[in-house]
Every structure is written in structure tokens, then in C-alpha cells.
Amino acid sequence: MSSFMKKTAFITLIFSWLSGLAMTVQTSTLSLRSTSDLTKSYLTANLLETKLSENQEWTLSLETWEKIESLWIENGLTPRAYQSEKIKAILATQVPTEENELFILNQFHRSLIDLSTGQVDPQLTSSDIKFEQHAFSYTNLVSSSSPQTWTNLIQTIAPKNLFYVKNKSILQKLRALQVDRRWEKTMLPETTILKGTSHPIVLEIKEKLKMLGYSVQKMDNNFDEDLQSHLRTINLNLGFNYDGKISKTSSFWIVLNSDLNSRIREAELQLEKARWLPENMEDKFGYVNLSSQKFIVYTKINNEYTQDFESKIIVGQILRKTPSMKDKVISVILNPTWTVPLSIFFKDKLPILQKDFSYLSQKGFKVISLKTDAEIDPSTINWKKVTRSNIDFQLVQNPSYTNALGVVKFPMTNKYSIYLHDTNDRDLFAKENRHLSSGCVRLHKPIDFADYLLSATSWNRTRIENTVLKPGQTTDHSTFIKLSKPLDMYILSFTLDENKGALEFYSDFYGHNQAIHKKITLN
């Protein structure tokens, strides 16, 4: 039995004898504030009491309930989840009873909790999601001075963080498209259309782009440079390359032939993710979007967030997903070492070493005892007899330009050994789908980011550039610089965005949307 049910049962028992108490029943209106002791008790038990001003008109009409429904929809909640139809039927036709009052209050109360803390515990949706569901508290959420009515309470409690506001606007735009009814499925072309040619479908595509907020230069049948540029952007956002043509196999149809209902659901799920984030996000924070494969630092200036730093990133492959979590960058390490994970040692390194252990010196690896941390002479190891049962050392790669971590590492505090770093495989940033790492986040512009983080220190760009190793150079030590103010980090996967008024769509590489949707549906 849920705590609510227990509470309700208890309250019902205590107050059942108060059945003679009159409820102020107006036509199709419930007065939930001043009439029923049972209701009062519910409000008190759920701490709603203190939030309701004595002077407020705390009655509920069908009209008010419809406003509540609209607010739920605006915030990505489904009225059906709170049995709204039943409540409307009660308000429209039935004489309210105490049982009905409690039923309505319970559904309303549930919606407030869902709105604030999320409909499901994020950690139960996918094992790589590490965000914790925050606790619900009216005291923290609602200022006692603000006038509280049904609708005000929803508006006050709804999150207002940067990502919530952004995704709410996206949801609103998608709903407007649905209402507009001009968004229809485009019949895919039978022939391939090349840039510089004309085709009736081109105008259809341009109209759809305009509906999504893209600025289209000429609304005609000509496949021009401007259109090609938009289609390239859409393809790249999805993680696909673009051949510059329009054909029935073009990836951009994933967006341009979107089912609006699915996209609206997707936007609702982004709002659910935004509820994992704190209400008061820091004035400066880093944001890794695992779907767009971009890293952005936001800074608040005059109460508005602006993008202070942006870089392409490489994130965890599907089998080694980068965890979604909150963390912080605490330091910068120039010329870091890299410790070879056990799995990579047995899969990639040991077969090479069994043939020729001079590979170690060629690639700058040293052998370190796990028990004593002392360096071991590789010639003293019988590499052919090393097994998972008797290994007692690690391979550590010395700092170099070709070190697996590149020349800069940005450690964080998490227990999963996830951090940001440079890479020795710098060409991979040219790929459209960059879900390639073993979980860590590789930065395209690591020196720029180090410069950005260390801007208020003696480590200016010249000093950083002079310190990091160039091709062919080696060193036996790393340079560790602790940040006086760590940079808060949010790592998660938003599949929708809005850029200069245009809606952007990303692939749900990790399947988080589906996982969250499934969990909410099961609930």
C-alpha cells in the first residue's frame, strides 16, 4: 500500500464520522479550502495547507480544471495520467462528495510532484543514467508570499532551468505545427535531385523547413545552395553524412517526414530529462550533449545564459555509454599519462607483447606493479605466461603527443573514471557519428578549453602551448593545475534543440527517450 493510500485511509477513518459536515457545493464547483475537514486534513497532511492563502478563492470549477489541463500539456504532462476525464465528469455533472474531493486533490498533488521531481526515477530508466531524483518540498519550491491558486501553484512549481524553458518552447512550437495542419507526409522522390535543378518537391521541402523555423531565402522549386546547406545541417545533426542530393534514401527525411505526434512525445520526454536538473543552475557550467555530440559552456550575464565556449566532442560508443550525470571539472593536467585498462591489455596489447615486448619502449609504455607501484623491468616478465589469473601489473603510457589521452586531460570527480581529454586520434572529429570512445569525452579543442579554464591564472595560452608536448617530444612528468573554482558539468542527452529560432533534431543514440517513455508508460 502506498504511503498516500495509507494516509488517505487513516484520514478517511478519522474523519468519516464527520460525514454530516456540509460541503459548500455550488453547481459544478468544488470548494476545497474551507468546507470539508477531510479535505483540510489532506491539505495539511500533504503540506498544501500552508501554501494556500486564507484569502484565496480555493474553489474548483470545470473551467479552472481545463486551465490546469492546459498547463499540464504545456509542461509535457499527460492529463490522462491524472484521470482528468473522470475529474471533468465529476465537475461537470456530479454532486461532489468527499471521496471525489480527495480523488481530485490526490491527482492534482501527484501532478505537482511529477512536475517538480519528474514522473520516474531517472536511475530506474537506464543503467547509464546516474542523475538522482530530487526530493519534493513545497517549502523549497513555493514562496509563502506568492498568491497560490490552482493554476499559480502549477506555474510556481514548474521548473524554470535553462533546458526546461528551452524544451518547453520547442514543445509549444511542435504543438503549434500540429494545430496548423499543414505538416503532411511528403511523397519521396523517385529520382535523385541534384543541386541546381528544379523539382516540385523542392518547394515542399522549403515550406517544411520554414515551418521548422529555418530561414529559407527563396521559396521556389530550385534546389539552391541555401537549401543544400540546411539539408546538410539536418543530416549532420542526426549523425549522418550528406551527399548533397535529394533522394528517397536521404537521411533528412527522418526530420522532414517526422510524425508530429512522435516528435511531440519526444519533446515531452526532453522536459522529463530537464526535471533532473537543479532549479538554480550555476552561473557558469559545462554541458555535454551526448546526442548532438557537442560541448558547450554557458555563462549567465545579466540574467541570461550565453554560450561561452563550444567544441565538437567524441563520446562513449553504444556498448560503453558515457554516463548521464552531474559532475565537475576540478583540474587541468598537461601531458597526462594513460593507464591501459585490463580489457584492452588482454585484447590488444598482450598479443603484441608476446611477440615482441620492445613495443613497450617504442610506444612509451612502462610496467608498474599493482602492489608496490614500482616500475618493473619488462624483460623480467614471461609475457607468454601472463594470464588474467596472475597479472599483477599495469601498463602506463608516458606523456607524449601520441599518448591515448593526447596532451591535455580534464579530470572530474565521478567514480566511473569519466573525464574530458584530448586524443591522439584527432581525425575522428571529421566523422558525423562520433560515438566512438570507451566512455570518456574527447574534446576537439582541448587547448582552447584549457586556456578558457585557466584564463584567470598565470597559465596563459602561450605558456600552455609551450608546455604541451609536440610530435616527437616526450617527458617523464605531467603538469597538474588545480582549478580554484571547479566547473560544474551536466552530461546528458537532449535530442531536440532550438538554434536561432530553428528546431534541431538529434538521434537518440543511447535509446534514453525510449527507455524513459517505457518507464513512464509502465508507471
Nearer to other proteins, 385 or 415 (CB): 415
Grid cell listed for 455: 584564463
CB half-sphere exposure, 300, CA atoms < 13 A:
9
The DSSP secondary structure of 327-390, one letter per residue, reads EEEEEEEES--EEPPHHHIIIIIHHHHHH-TTHHHHTTEEEEETTT--EE-GGGS-GGG--TTT
Grid cell listed for 149: 491558486
389 scored as a contact of other proteins (CB under 8 A): yes
415 scored as a contact of other proteins (CB under 8 A): yes
Q: Burial of 254 by CB count in 10 Å (0-12 exposed, 13-18 middle, 19+ buried)?
A: middle
Return the range that interacts with other proteins (CB under 8 A); candidates 266-274, 286-294, 300-308, 332-340: 332-340
Return the range that interacts with other proteins (CB under 8 A); candidates 99-107, 178-186, 266-274, 338-346: 338-346
Nearer to other proteins, 393 or 490 (CB): 393
Closest of 214, 248, 219 to residue 231, by C-alpha: 214
Separation between Cα atoms, residue 375 and residue 369, nearest integer Å: 6
Closest of 429, 498, 451, 422 to residue 297, by C-alpha: 451
Separation between Cα atoms, residue 411 and residue 328, nearest integer Å: 8
102 scored as a contact of other proteins (CB under 8 A): no
Return the range that interacts with other proteins (CB under 8 A); candidates 206-214, 277-285, 427-435, 438-446: 438-446
339 scored as a contact of other proteins (CB under 8 A): yes
Nearer to other proteins, 301 or 342 (CB): 342
Nearer to other proteins, 203 or 391 (CB): 391
Return the range that interacts with other proteins (CB under 8 A); candidates 54-62, 177-185, 254-262, 411-419: 411-419
Closest of 308, 279, 350, 356 to residue 487, by C-alpha: 308
The 3-state DSSP composition of the chain as helix, strand, coil percent (nearest 5) reads: 40, 20, 40
Binding residue count for other proteins, defined by CB under 8 A: 24
Q: Burial of 443 by CB count in 10 Å (0-12 exposed, 13-18 middle, 19+ buried)?
A: buried
330 scored as a contact of other proteins (CB under 8 A): no
Nearer to other proteins, 76 or 336 (CB): 336
344 scored as a contact of other proteins (CB under 8 A): yes
Using CB under 8 A, which of 289, 394, 400, 493 touches other proteins? 394
428 scored as a contact of other proteins (CB under 8 A): no
Separation between Cα atoms, residue 460 and residue 481, nearest integer Å: 12
Nearer to other proteins, 139 or 417 (CB): 417
Name the 3-class secondary structure at 127.
coil
Nearer to other proteins, 78 or 438 (CB): 438
Pick out residues in 245-274 that bind other proteins (CB under 8 A): none
392 scored as a contact of other proteins (CB under 8 A): yes
| Contacts of 264 by beta carbon, 8 Å cutoff, 6+ apart | 171, 174, 175, 178
Using CB under 8 A, which of 100, 152, 192, 438 touches other proteins? 438
Nearer to other proteins, 181 or 415 (CB): 415
Pattern of binders to other proteins over 111-130, x per CB under 8 A? ----------------x---
Using CB under 8 A, which of 80, 181, 385, 388 touches other proteins? 388
Given a contact cutoff of 8 angstroms between Cβ atoms, the answer to whether 231 and 208 are in contact is: no
DSSP-derived letter for residue 56 is S
232 scored as a contact of other proteins (CB under 8 A): no
Given a contact cutoff of 8 angstroms between Cβ atoms, the answer to whether 505 and 267 are in contact is: no
Shortest Å, Cβ 464 to other proteins = 24
341 scored as a contact of other proteins (CB under 8 A): yes
Return the range that interacts with other proteins (CB under 8 A); candidates 51-59, 93-101, 290-298, 388-396: 388-396
Q: Burial of 357 by CB count in 10 Å (0-12 exposed, 13-18 middle, 19+ buried)?
A: middle
317 scored as a contact of other proteins (CB under 8 A): no
Shortest Å, Cβ 390 to other proteins = 7
Using CB under 8 A, which of 381, 391, 447, 483 touches other proteins? 391
Pick out residues in 43-72 that bind other proteins (CB under 8 A): none
Grid cell listed for 328: 565537475
390 scored as a contact of other proteins (CB under 8 A): yes
340 scored as a contact of other proteins (CB under 8 A): yes
Longest C-alpha distance within the chain, in Å? 93
Given a contact cutoff of 8 angstroms between Cβ atoms, the answer to whether 125 and 516 are in contact is: yes
Name the 3-class secondary structure at 421.
strand
Nearer to other proteins, 135 or 370 (CB): 370
343 scored as a contact of other proteins (CB under 8 A): yes
Residues that bind other proteins (CB under 8 A): 127, 319-320, 338-344, 370-371, 388-392, 394, 415-417, 438-440
